[in-house]
Structure 1
Amino acid sequence: MARPAAKKLKPAERARIEELFHRFESLESDPRTELDYRDAYTLVVAVALSAQATDVSVNKATARLFEAADTPEAMLALGEEGLKPFISSIGLYNTKAKNVIAAARILVEQYGGQVPLDRASLQALPGVGRKTASVVLNELRIEPAIAVDTHVFRVSHRLELAFGKTPDHVEAELMAIVPEPYLWRAHHWLILHGRYTCTARRPRCEECPVADLCPSRHLFLGR
């Protein structure tokens, strides 16, 4: 999305958010997706396969898949039935196989086998929604974006960076308050923080590098 106008914040809140992302940067200056990929096409496939699946399970599947088919042409030649055995360990693999092959056909027939790296064209591909497009565009440093998955949604609310009730609302709120120097990397920091520290059931507040900046810490410390 085009970045909305920066939200007007009180100086103390602006300073809190600045410090929060500064600390994330001090821990990991150049965070990247944990999905394995080779180029724009394999990134699109990996992200599409990761819906309702773990990155670990997707990487295990694509390690074999990308040896057999790492271009739209090769994927199309593999076909839907040929693809399924490679991704059968991933949830919703029947639907995902159908979408991956349909997307490969469009890329071959309409784009000469190249991935169109603009949001509208990406989101028009089967199996590529807003979140997938955001991940791809941000990872490739084409467009700053914050794809809101369950981790980002949870962490944003606990840190009171966003209060929206839907992923789209949270995305808009985050895009309006994340300081410009951190915008490209915020997506990954929030995911990693939610995946490894601010977990759903038992957040590791005692080890959290931003616990003193978190309005929700009193809900979990000492439990």
Structure 2
Amino acid sequence: MKRTSENQRVTEIIGILSGCYPDVKTQLDHGDAFQLLVATILSAQCTDRQVNRVTPGLFRKFPNPQAFADADPTLLENLVRPTGYFRSKARHIRECARAIIGQYGGRVPDSLDALIKLPGVGRKTANVVLGAAFGQQTIVVDTHVKRIARRLGLTGSADPGRIEQDLMKVIPKAAWSAFSLQLIYLGREYCIARKPRCAVCPLNALCPSAIRPEESPEKLDGRDDA
């Protein structure tokens, strides 16, 4: 009975999120799979808005993988500097471009196993590309998804890989990509890290961590580390 009740709660969560955010997509501006890959690498420890300020000029200067592979390291570092960790990001992008040219003829691979072998590409980046560029069903675990999945009680883990697996078990596969993006939207609008807007959150009644008017935000301390 408990399992049935939990399944019903998850179904209601999905329904509410789909009603609030029926048309979700990555907020990273891009023209093709490679540009999305580069933008996602740059988005680590950086906001999508800031990445979108950098990439138009970056992609004009380097329009394809070969251009990135041949890029002057110092010039590339200077262009991506506003996204933070610019030296490692520039190095990863150059190495990634070279690997794509050498191993895949300049085309971004469309499998998780291949993507995570590229320099600077982890599961989160790979899942963003697979979902947004190739239309595959993936769950992207960023800081918003990690925080909200824990607050909703959909996982008890703080490890992104484990969170991904936990969500894959309870969310229907056809909803994976949309669900993780919907959590990101929810995190930006309502389920904020330090001062969540629980009183007006559409998932309030279904969230075991929801703060009631008489309660303090410290209630979330055990579930929130982002």
Q: TM-score, normalised by structure 1?
A: 0.90
1:75-90 equivalences under 5 Å are 75-90=68-83
Cross-structure match for 2:109: 116
Q: Which runs of 4+ in 1 moved over 4 A?
A: 219-223
Kindly report which structure 2 residues correspond to 1:16-165, keeping only aligned pairs within 5 A, or say none. Answer: 16-165=9-158
Does 2:203 match 1:185? Answer: no
Q: Is the 8 A contact 1:18 1:179 kept in 2?
A: no
Could you give the per-residue CA deviations for residues 83-141 of structure 1, whole angstroms, max 9, x where no partner exists? 11211111100000011011111122222211111111111111111111011112234
What are structure 2's unaligned runs of at least 5 residues? 217-226
Name the CA distance, whole Å, in 2 between partners of 1:149 and 1:76.
Answer: 28
Q: Determine if the alignment matches structure 1 residue 218 to structure 2 residue 211.
A: yes
Q: Residues 123 and 181 from structure 1, CA distance in 2 versus in 1: closer, same or farther, beyond 3 angstroms?
A: closer
How many residue pairs are counted as aligned between the two chains?
216
| Identity level (%) | 38
Structure 1 match to 2:221: none
Q: Provide the rounded CA distance (Å) in 2 between the counterparts of 1:9 and 1:106.
A: 49
- List gaps (5 residues or longer) in structure 1: 1-7
Is the partner of 2:83 in helix, strand or coil?
coil
* Contact 1:41/1:70 (8 A) holds in 2: no
Structure 1 counterpart of 2:196, which letter?
P
Aligned to 2:168: 175
> CA shift at 1:70, angstroms?
2.7
Q: Secondary structure at the match of 1:88?
A: helix
Give per-residue Cα distances to partners, 1:156-201, cap 9 Å, x unaligned: 0111111123111111110000134422311101112112210111
CA distance in 2: counterparts of 1:121 and 1:58, whole angstroms: 25
Contact 1:84 1:97 in 2 (8 A): yes
- Matched to 2:199, the amino acid is E
Structure 2 length-normalised TM: 0.89
SS in 2 for 1:89: helix
Amino acid at match of 1:186: F
> Is 1:166 paired with 2:155?
no
